[in-house]
Amino acid sequence: MHTNNLYHAESEKSIQDFIGDFEGIAQKSGFVIHNADTMDMANTFGLHGVAVSADFDLHMVQICKPEKAAKSLAANPERAVLMPKYIMLFTKDGKTQIRFLRFGSEEISAIVDDPVFPASLAETYARIVAMIEEARG
């Protein structure tokens, strides 16, 4: 996988502040945080009986645009393999680290044989990156 698939940034904001700002920005574009109650991986692991260190702060934020996703999956359920979109957040050296894995149109075409989906998904990835940029301040 090429490193240009990985959006890599950081923010001076805390993880919670970034998430709050991102959620407000995302809602304006019709996106929702799909997993608000399970994004904090320390809590999620704890629910499964797995303890992590007190400073473990990985958050896996799943973003979804339900109206678009429902129409897209109804048109072609094979698109589902590329539908979950996660923004990974963690702290390193006192700053919030932000990671987002995305694919270009050619890669999407290689995974899902669909003439419309690659351009649509690439557009969604670009919108998510723009929302992250706005939220990270």
CA distance 129 to 25: 12
pLDDT at 3: 62
Instruction: Please tell me the predicted confidence (pLDDT) of residue 2.
Output: 45
Specify the pLDDT at position 4.
Answer: 77
Write down all domains in the chain, each with its CATH number in brackets.
Answer: 3-136 (3.30.310.70)
* Per-residue pLDDT tens listing for the chain (137 residues): 346 799 999 999 999 999 999 999 999 999 999 999 999 999 999 999 999 999 999 999 999 999 999 999 999 999 999 999 999 999 999 999 999 999 988 999 999 999 999 999 999 999 999 999 999 98
- C-alpha 60/C-alpha 45 separation (Å) is 12
- Give percent helix, percent strand, percent coil of the chain, each to the nearest 5: 50, 20, 30
- Report strand pairing: 6-11 vs 95-101: antiparallel
Paired tokens of 116: 């419309």
pLDDT of 64 reads 95
